[in-house]
Amino acid sequence: MFRLAHISDIHLGPLPALSVLELASKRITGFVNWHRNRRRHLFPNTLGLLMDDLERRNPDHLAITGDLVNLAAAVEIDTVACWLSDVGKPENVSVVPGNHDAYVPGAYERSCRAWYPYMRGDEAPADWNAGSPVFPYMRVRGNVALIGCSTAVATPPFAASGYFGRRQARATVDLLQAAGKAGLFRVVMIHHPPIRGATSFHKRMIGIRRFAATISSGGAELVLHGHTHFNTVHWLRGPTGGQVPVVGIASASQGPGGHKPPAAYNLFEISGEPGRWNLMRERYELDALGSGVALAETTRFPSEE
């Protein structure tokens, strides 16, 4: 049995002091939004409680599906790199970026360079290369293939959309098919929900139909995403006509009492073999007082076949 934990939307705080030059961009809207809204509900101690509880469960691997920073300032990106080193070794933690990690032009490349050890596929070069695409990547751990995709792109002010393009779709299909032929349980990680209507228009994923075709062509057993800050389950059609679960999770830093659900993480138990996979999920959530984490839901997912 393989135990996979899933968290998302870290939004590691507090927000650092930024220069006038750094704020002379889209960051000014995010800066105002943080001080008017997010800082009231996103608390570092919440993330600490969640990670302490997750560590006690001792999962085999941790998937993080984006938005590790807030405004993608250089100091934030470096702070997250230090945080990741505390969370676990690169071989035990897999990361994909979110829209906040590519908040302004140039931030995506800085994030990928700083966090590359946690985004490097098994067959990828040891060192980050600005001229080579990082995504999609594939890591094989036991009988599980973790396939990381990116929807992170810099967007104009008041937009938080993502993009899944043709090149990445073709490469993802190839990885999914190869993993399927190898008899592996395939987990796709992506930030934006690949489901129409799952979020508002200005936060949507461009390329939803393309991603659905990728799953129906390549095959997968599980898709993980973040972005919405909600605990959700949707479904995509698999190659044989069955349903592939698409699971979202609340922000890992969300405190209690807000209009979004409190911080949570998913813990998946994967067992079985091709054609007879077993997938169980336990969702652990911050309690109403914000003082501890407890089991909130248990789900058994049907096999795609």
Given this model, what pLDDT does residue 72 score? 82
Rounded Cα gap, residues 225 and 252, in angstroms: 13
166-181 vs 208-218: helix axis angle to the nearest 10?
20
For the segment 241-283, what is each residue's pLDDT rounded down to a tens digit?
889 999 999 999 998 888 899 999 999 999 999 989 999 999 9
Mean pLDDT, residues 181-195: 98
Say how many Å lie between the first and final Cα of the chain, rounded. 19
Given this model, what pLDDT does residue 20 score? 47
Nearest-CA neighbor of 274 among 142, 147, 183?
A: 183
Residue 41, pLDDT > 60, answer: no
Cβ proximity of 205 and 161 under 8 Å = yes
Residue 25, pLDDT > 80, answer: no
With bands split at pLDDT 50, 70 and 90, how would you rate the model's confidence at 122? Answer: very high
HSE on the CB side for 178, CA within 13 Å? Answer: 13
Query: How many residues comprise the chain?
Result: 305
Given this model, what pLDDT does residue 31 score? 44
Instruction: Give the 3-state DSSP-derived string for the chain, with helices as H, strands as E and coil as C.
Output: CEEEEEECCCCCCCCCCCCHHHHCCCHHHHHHHHHHCHHHCECHHHHHHHHHHHHHHCCCEEEEECCCCCCCCHHHHHHHHHHHHHHCCHHHEEEECCHHHHCCCCHHHHHHHHHHHHCCCCCCCCCCCCCCCCCCEEEEECCEEEEECCCCCCCCCCCCCEECCHHHHHHHHHHHHHHHHCCCEEEEECCCCCCCCCCCHHHCEECHHHHHHHHHHHCCCEEEECCCCCCEEEEEECCCCCEEEEEECCCCCECCCCCCCCCEEEEEEEEEECCEEEEEEEEEEECCCCCCEEEEEEEEECCCC
Structural domain harbouring 222: 2-124+133-301
Given this model, what pLDDT does residue 19 score? 53
Nearest-CA neighbor of 43 among 2, 86, 11?
A: 11
Mean pLDDT, residues 24-28: 54
**Beta strands at 232-237 and 185-189: parallel, antiparallel or unpaired:** unpaired
Rounded Cα gap, residues 109 and 196, in angstroms: 28
How far, in whole angstroms, is CA 1 from its chain's centroid? 22
Residue 212 main-chain phi, psi, to 5 deg = -60, -40
For the segment 98-113, what is each residue's pLDDT rounded down to a tens digit?
999 998 889 999 999 9
Q: Which of 4-18, 91-105, 212-226 has the lowest mean pLDDT?
A: 4-18
Mean pLDDT, residues 225-231: 97
Mean pLDDT, residues 126-144: 90
For the segment 150-178, what is each residue's pLDDT rounded down to a tens digit?
999 988 887 889 999 999 999 999 999 99
Task: Kindly state the tokens that stand for 106.
Answer: 């140039």
Cβ proximity of 265 and 253 under 8 Å = no
How far, in whole angstroms, is CA 148 from its chain's centroid? 9
Would the CA dihedral through 103, 106, 107, 108 be positive or negative?
A: positive
Given this model, what pLDDT does residue 183 score? 97
Would the CA dihedral through 153, 156, 161, 163 be positive or negative?
A: negative
Mean pLDDT, residues 76-103: 96
Q: Which residue has the higher pLDDT, 290 or 60?
A: 60
Residue 213, pLDDT > 90, answer: yes
Q: Which CATH number does the domain housing residue 184 bear?
A: 3.60.21.10
Tally the domains of the chain: 1
Given this model, what pLDDT does residue 124 score? 93
